[in-house]
């Protein structure tokens, strides 16, 4: 239970608070909490065996990461709409169909950010329009190679790891059903 909340910073993406809370065990403590509007992330399948990822510069990590396309939810935006928008903006391909893979809390120790994960199919040409603060390029890989890169620790971004492994699990379960 939050006994007291003090706003420390309100930015374009995050909103930082200091909360004085009483924990379920009765202990009173002070926690830093970042509020985030949430996001959507997508594994875009170009074919049954190929996916599009983005190689994106991430200042906080000190370099480039190989990731699934993703982006922050706009105010009042549905996660599916965000997934469609971000896939086209970052890859230049518009999904014809989305399949929900799940949702994850990114770092629940200090933020409420939830990312909704999707697989996208039936891609059609669209218009790539990265934001001004995005430095990225599109990378086309076999799905097997993308999953192998996760397993080798070459893809380390949490949303990408989660989305790719959930998509792999979904494909395996569909194969078992046949």
Sorted by where each begins, the domain ranges of the chain are 2-35, 39-177
Rg (CA), the chain: 18
pLDDT of residue 33: 97
Question: pTM, whole model, 2 decimals?
Answer: 0.93
Residues in the chain where the model's pLDDT stays below 70? 174-178
Within the chain, strands assigned E span 2-10, 15-22, 28-35, 39-44, 50-58, 63-67, 70-72, 93-94, 97-105, 114-121, 124-125, 136-142
pLDDT in tens, 113-132: 999 999 999 999 999 999 99
pLDDT of residue 149: 98
pLDDT of residue 1: 87
Tokens, residue 159: 């949303």
- Homologous superfamily of the 39-177 domain (CATH): Nucleoside Triphosphate Pyrophosphohydrolase (3.90.79.10)
């Amino acid at each position: 239970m939050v006994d007291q909340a003090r706003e420390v910073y309100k930015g374009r993406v995050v909103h930082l608070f200091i909360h004085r809370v009483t924990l379920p065990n009765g202990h009173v403590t002070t926690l830093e909490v970042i509020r985030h509007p949430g996001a959507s992330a997508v594994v875009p399948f170009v074919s049954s065996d190929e996916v599009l990822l983005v190689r994106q510069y991430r200042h906080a990590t000190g370099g480039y990461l190989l990731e699934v396309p993703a982006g922050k939810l706009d105010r009042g935006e549905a996660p599916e709409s965000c997934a469609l928008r971000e896939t086209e903006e970052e890859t230049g391909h518009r999904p014809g169909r989305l399949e929900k893979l799940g949702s994850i809390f990114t770092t629940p120790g200090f933020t409420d950010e939830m990312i909704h994960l999707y697989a996208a199919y039936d891609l059609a040409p669209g218009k790539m329009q990265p934001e001004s603060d995005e430095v990225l390029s599109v990378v086309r890989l076999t799905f097997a190679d993308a999953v192998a890169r996760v397993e080798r620790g070459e893809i380390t971004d949490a949303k990408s790891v989660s989305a790719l492994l959930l998509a792999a699990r979904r494909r395996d379960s569909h194969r078992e059903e046949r």
